[in-house]
């Protein structure tokens, strides 16, 4: 029995001096948090990229409303505008039609164009949103929303703003329509 104890003690001393597997153990302890950190950085980068893409696409397509090109084109519905925004977000074409929501409202003054954005926990209801691109010299507020799915498991509770685990990205443009061809006023209804 004493011999066994002595051998066990010798084995313990020998193993405690052996450093051959230390690197593998250290890597195993560090690799999982590092992987989560890298995935989180990629996730944040993608959110930023989608946000900038949404901002740029909204800017380009809102210009068509501002100049009257959209109203006078004969196809000035919400779906037409949504299609134009999606064409400007070409690298997201697979997600765009189902995850993009648009609305446009006209106002009498810039002060009245403040409005509110949808709550972070409420789903965006495209049927309840207003759609009025306005007449010449109307003040128009155009808002676009894009639901971006969050895939990093540990960051999901920190980044998600919708109950379905996605983040609602939004952008808004407020402008006064230019005095485009007043003889052909499209007669947009106010919401």
- pTM here is 0.78
Q: Where do runs of H (alpha helix) occur along the chain? A: 2-17, 22-67, 69-72, 78-88, 93-99, 156-159
What integer is the mean pLDDT of 20-29? 80
What integer is the mean pLDDT of 179-187? 64
Q: Domain locations in the chain? A: 26-184
State the pLDDT confidence band at 50, using cuts at 50, 70 and 90.
Answer: very high
Residue scoring higher pLDDT (59 or 2) = 59
pLDDT of 160 > 80? The answer is: no
* pLDDT tens-digit readout, 33-46: 899 889 889 999 99
* pLDDT tens-digit readout, 79-131: 999 999 999 998 887 889 899 999 999 998 888 887 666 655 455 676 667 88
* pLDDT tens-digit readout, 1-19: 677 877 878 777 776 666 6
Here the tokens at position 25 are: 């153990």
If residue 140 lies in a helix (H) or strand (E), which one and from where to where?
strand 139-149
Asked whether 152 and 113 are in contact (CB, 8 A), the reply is no
- Closest of 82, 91, 67, 69 to residue 144, by C-alpha: 82
**For position 47, what pLDDT does the model report?**
94
CA 43 vs CA 39, 85, 97, 180: distances in Å:
6, 23, 21, 43
């Amino acid at each position: 029995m004493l011999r066994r104890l002595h051998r066990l003690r010798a084995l313990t001393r020998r193993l405690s001096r052996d450093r051959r597997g230390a690197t593998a153990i250290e890597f195993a302890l560090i690799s999982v948090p590092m992987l989560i950190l890298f995935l989180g950085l990629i996730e944040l980068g993608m959110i930023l990229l989608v946000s900038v893409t949404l901002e740029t696409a909204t800017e380009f397509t809102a210009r068509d409303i501002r100049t009257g090109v959209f109203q006078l084109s004969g196809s000035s519905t919400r779906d037409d505008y949504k299609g134009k925004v999606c064409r400007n977000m070409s690298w997201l074409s697979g997600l765009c039609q189902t995850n993009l929501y648009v609305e446009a409202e006209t106002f009498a003054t810039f002060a009245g164009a403040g409005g509110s954005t949808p709550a972070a926990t409420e789903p965006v209801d495209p049927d309840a949103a207003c759609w009025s691109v306005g007449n010449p010299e109307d003040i128009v507020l155009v808002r676009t929303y894009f639901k971006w799915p969050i895939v990093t498991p540990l960051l999901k509770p920190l980044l998600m703003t919708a109950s379905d685990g996605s983040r609602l990205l939004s952008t808004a443009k407020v402008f006064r329509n230019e005095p485009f061809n007043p003889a052909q006023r499209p007669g947009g209804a106010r919401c």
